[in-house]
Amino acid sequence: MTMFYVIRHGETEWNGHGNRYCGRTDVPLTTVGKLQAARLGDALAAMRFDAALVSPLQRAQHTALGITQRLGIEMQTDSRLSEIDFGDWEGLTQQEIEHHFAQQWKAWLHDPAHVKAGGSGESAGDVVARIQSVFVENSRDNGESVMVVSHNTAIRLFIAGTLGMPLIHYRKLEFNNAGICMVEMKSAADFKWQLGGYMPTP
Protein backbone atom coordinates (compact mmCIF):
# COMPACT_ATOMS: atom_id res chain seq x y z
CA MET A 1 0.00 0.00 0.00
CA THR A 2 1.20 3.51 -0.88
CA MET A 3 -0.28 6.74 0.46
CA PHE A 4 -0.26 9.55 -2.09
CA TYR A 5 -0.70 13.15 -0.95
CA VAL A 6 -2.19 14.93 -3.96
CA ILE A 7 -1.72 18.70 -4.00
CA ARG A 8 -3.06 21.36 -6.31
CA HIS A 9 -0.65 24.21 -7.05
CA GLY A 10 -1.08 27.65 -5.49
CA GLU A 11 -2.97 30.54 -7.00
CA THR A 12 -2.00 32.01 -10.37
CA GLU A 13 -3.20 35.18 -12.06
CA TRP A 14 -5.46 33.13 -14.32
CA ASN A 15 -7.03 31.34 -11.32
CA GLY A 16 -7.50 34.47 -9.30
CA HIS A 17 -9.02 36.79 -11.90
CA GLY A 18 -11.72 35.50 -14.21
CA ASN A 19 -10.71 31.84 -13.83
CA ARG A 20 -9.23 31.51 -17.30
CA TYR A 21 -8.64 28.00 -18.58
CA CYS A 22 -4.95 27.41 -17.97
CA GLY A 23 -3.65 24.15 -19.38
CA ARG A 24 -0.12 24.21 -20.75
CA THR A 25 0.49 27.97 -20.50
CA ASP A 26 3.32 28.31 -17.99
CA VAL A 27 1.97 31.06 -15.77
CA PRO A 28 3.66 31.83 -12.42
CA LEU A 29 2.20 31.92 -8.94
CA THR A 30 0.77 35.16 -7.62
CA THR A 31 1.93 36.63 -4.32
CA VAL A 32 -0.96 34.78 -2.69
CA GLY A 33 0.10 31.57 -4.43
CA LYS A 34 3.65 31.91 -3.09
CA LEU A 35 2.30 32.41 0.42
CA GLN A 36 0.10 29.35 0.00
CA ALA A 37 3.17 27.33 -1.00
CA ALA A 38 5.02 28.55 2.08
CA ARG A 39 2.07 27.63 4.29
CA LEU A 40 2.02 24.16 2.76
CA GLY A 41 5.67 23.80 3.75
CA ASP A 42 4.76 24.76 7.30
CA ALA A 43 1.77 22.42 7.41
CA LEU A 44 3.71 19.42 6.12
CA ALA A 45 6.98 20.11 7.96
CA ALA A 46 6.58 17.04 10.16
CA MET A 47 5.79 14.69 7.27
CA ARG A 48 8.09 12.08 5.80
CA PHE A 49 7.83 11.68 2.05
CA ASP A 50 9.67 8.99 0.14
CA ALA A 51 9.24 10.82 -3.18
CA ALA A 52 7.93 14.10 -4.60
CA LEU A 53 6.41 13.85 -8.08
CA VAL A 54 5.64 17.19 -9.70
CA SER A 55 4.26 18.58 -12.95
CA PRO A 56 6.97 20.40 -14.95
CA LEU A 57 4.89 23.61 -15.13
CA GLN A 58 6.33 26.35 -12.95
CA ARG A 59 3.19 26.90 -10.89
CA ALA A 60 3.41 23.30 -9.69
CA GLN A 61 7.18 23.31 -9.23
CA HIS A 62 7.15 26.53 -7.20
CA THR A 63 4.38 25.12 -5.02
CA ALA A 64 6.37 21.94 -4.45
CA LEU A 65 9.50 23.89 -3.53
CA GLY A 66 7.76 25.25 -0.46
CA ILE A 67 7.61 21.66 0.76
CA THR A 68 10.64 19.91 -0.71
CA GLN A 69 13.13 22.55 0.43
CA ARG A 70 11.66 22.47 3.92
CA LEU A 71 11.88 18.68 4.10
CA GLY A 72 15.14 18.30 2.17
CA ILE A 73 13.77 15.91 -0.45
CA GLU A 74 14.40 15.83 -4.19
CA MET A 75 11.71 16.90 -6.64
CA GLN A 76 11.06 14.62 -9.62
CA THR A 77 9.25 16.24 -12.53
CA ASP A 78 6.92 14.15 -14.67
CA SER A 79 5.16 15.58 -17.73
CA ARG A 80 2.29 13.13 -17.23
CA LEU A 81 1.22 15.25 -14.24
CA SER A 82 0.71 18.35 -16.41
CA GLU A 83 -2.68 19.99 -16.67
CA ILE A 84 -5.03 18.88 -19.44
CA ASP A 85 -4.33 20.35 -22.87
CA PHE A 86 -7.30 22.68 -23.42
CA GLY A 87 -6.61 23.19 -27.13
CA ASP A 88 -8.43 26.24 -28.55
CA TRP A 89 -9.89 27.07 -25.13
CA GLU A 90 -6.54 27.98 -23.60
CA GLY A 91 -6.64 31.36 -21.87
CA LEU A 92 -10.39 31.82 -22.22
CA THR A 93 -13.09 32.00 -19.57
CA GLN A 94 -15.99 29.56 -19.63
CA GLN A 95 -18.28 32.32 -20.87
CA GLU A 96 -15.91 33.06 -23.78
CA ILE A 97 -15.71 29.37 -24.65
CA GLU A 98 -19.48 29.00 -24.63
CA HIS A 99 -19.76 32.01 -26.94
CA HIS A 100 -16.97 31.28 -29.42
CA PHE A 101 -16.90 27.46 -29.34
CA ALA A 102 -20.49 26.56 -28.53
CA GLN A 103 -20.58 23.21 -30.35
CA GLN A 104 -17.20 22.12 -28.98
CA TRP A 105 -18.33 22.99 -25.47
CA LYS A 106 -21.63 21.09 -25.80
CA ALA A 107 -19.79 18.03 -27.13
CA TRP A 108 -17.31 18.17 -24.22
CA LEU A 109 -20.08 18.44 -21.63
CA HIS A 110 -21.87 15.49 -23.22
CA ASP A 111 -18.89 13.12 -23.49
CA PRO A 112 -15.60 14.44 -22.06
CA ALA A 113 -14.23 10.91 -21.82
CA HIS A 114 -13.84 10.82 -25.61
CA VAL A 115 -14.19 14.40 -26.88
CA LYS A 116 -10.98 16.43 -27.07
CA ALA A 117 -11.09 19.67 -25.09
CA GLY A 118 -10.85 22.70 -27.33
CA GLY A 119 -11.00 20.57 -30.46
CA SER A 120 -7.27 19.85 -30.55
CA GLY A 121 -6.52 19.17 -26.88
CA GLU A 122 -6.92 16.04 -24.77
CA SER A 123 -9.92 13.97 -23.83
CA ALA A 124 -10.70 13.31 -20.19
CA GLY A 125 -9.97 9.64 -20.80
CA ASP A 126 -6.48 10.53 -22.04
CA VAL A 127 -5.80 12.52 -18.87
CA VAL A 128 -6.98 9.80 -16.50
CA ALA A 129 -4.86 7.19 -18.27
CA ARG A 130 -1.62 9.18 -18.17
CA ILE A 131 -1.98 10.22 -14.54
CA GLN A 132 -2.96 6.75 -13.43
CA SER A 133 0.21 5.42 -15.06
CA VAL A 134 2.26 7.68 -12.75
CA PHE A 135 0.53 6.29 -9.67
CA VAL A 136 0.89 2.69 -10.82
CA GLU A 137 4.61 3.11 -11.51
CA ASN A 138 5.22 4.70 -8.10
CA SER A 139 3.11 2.37 -5.97
CA ARG A 140 5.05 0.18 -3.53
CA ASP A 141 4.20 -2.56 -1.05
CA ASN A 142 6.12 -1.13 1.88
CA GLY A 143 3.88 1.68 3.07
CA GLU A 144 5.62 4.61 1.38
CA SER A 145 4.26 8.16 1.30
CA VAL A 146 4.49 10.05 -1.98
CA MET A 147 3.73 13.71 -2.65
CA VAL A 148 2.14 14.56 -6.02
CA VAL A 149 1.72 18.17 -7.18
CA SER A 150 -0.52 18.65 -10.18
CA HIS A 151 -3.45 20.71 -11.49
CA ASN A 152 -7.15 21.28 -10.95
CA THR A 153 -8.85 19.63 -13.94
CA ALA A 154 -6.30 16.83 -14.18
CA ILE A 155 -6.73 15.93 -10.51
CA ARG A 156 -10.54 16.09 -10.59
CA LEU A 157 -10.67 13.88 -13.67
CA PHE A 158 -8.33 11.39 -12.02
CA ILE A 159 -10.43 11.30 -8.84
CA ALA A 160 -13.60 10.76 -10.88
CA GLY A 161 -11.94 8.03 -12.93
CA THR A 162 -10.61 6.08 -9.95
CA LEU A 163 -13.98 6.30 -8.20
CA GLY A 164 -15.70 4.83 -11.24
CA MET A 165 -17.74 7.99 -11.83
CA PRO A 166 -18.80 8.85 -15.37
CA LEU A 167 -16.24 11.51 -16.31
CA ILE A 168 -19.07 13.84 -17.29
CA HIS A 169 -19.47 14.45 -13.53
CA TYR A 170 -15.91 15.64 -12.82
CA ARG A 171 -17.13 19.24 -12.60
CA LYS A 172 -19.10 18.32 -9.47
CA LEU A 173 -15.78 17.93 -7.66
CA GLU A 174 -14.03 21.03 -6.29
CA PHE A 175 -10.35 21.28 -5.40
CA ASN A 176 -9.02 24.63 -4.18
CA ASN A 177 -5.61 26.12 -4.90
CA ALA A 178 -3.04 24.60 -2.52
CA GLY A 179 -5.59 21.99 -1.49
CA ILE A 180 -4.53 18.53 -0.37
CA CYS A 181 -6.31 15.20 -0.59
CA MET A 182 -4.96 11.73 0.06
CA VAL A 183 -5.41 8.46 -1.73
CA GLU A 184 -4.41 5.03 -0.48
CA MET A 185 -3.47 2.83 -3.40
CA LYS A 186 -3.36 -0.94 -2.99
CA SER A 187 -3.44 -1.85 -6.68
CA ALA A 188 -4.09 -0.30 -10.08
CA ALA A 189 -7.81 -0.85 -9.47
CA ASP A 190 -7.99 -0.21 -5.72
CA PHE A 191 -7.98 3.47 -4.70
CA LYS A 192 -9.38 4.79 -1.43
CA TRP A 193 -9.65 8.59 -1.30
CA GLN A 194 -9.49 10.74 1.83
CA LEU A 195 -10.77 14.17 0.86
CA GLY A 196 -9.31 16.59 3.38
CA GLY A 197 -9.75 19.80 1.39
CA TYR A 198 -6.96 21.60 3.27
CA MET A 199 -6.18 25.06 1.90
CA PRO A 200 -3.62 27.31 3.66
CA THR A 201 -5.08 30.74 2.93
CA PRO A 202 -2.68 33.57 3.79
Give long-range contacts, CB 8 A cutoff, 24+ apart: 171-175: 175/8
Q: Which amino acid is at 17?
A: H
Question: What would the DSSP string read from start to end of 85-96?
Answer: --GGGTT--HHH
- 34 phi and psi angles, rounded to 5 deg: -65, -40
Beta strand extents in 49-202 (DSSP E only) = 51-54, 75-77, 145-150, 180-187, 190-198
137 is catalytic: no
In whole angstroms, what is the distance from residue 174 CA to residue 77 CA? Answer: 25
Number of H helices, E strands in the chain: 7, 6
Q: Per the residue annotation, which of 11, 83, 90, 122 is the catalytic one?
A: 83
Catalytic, 99? Answer no
User: Which of 10, 8, 40 lies closest to 28, judged by CA?
Assistant: 10
The distance of Cα 186 from the centroid of its chain, to the nearest Å, equals 21
At residue 141, what is the residue type?
D
Query: Which residues are catalytically annotated?
Result: 9, 83
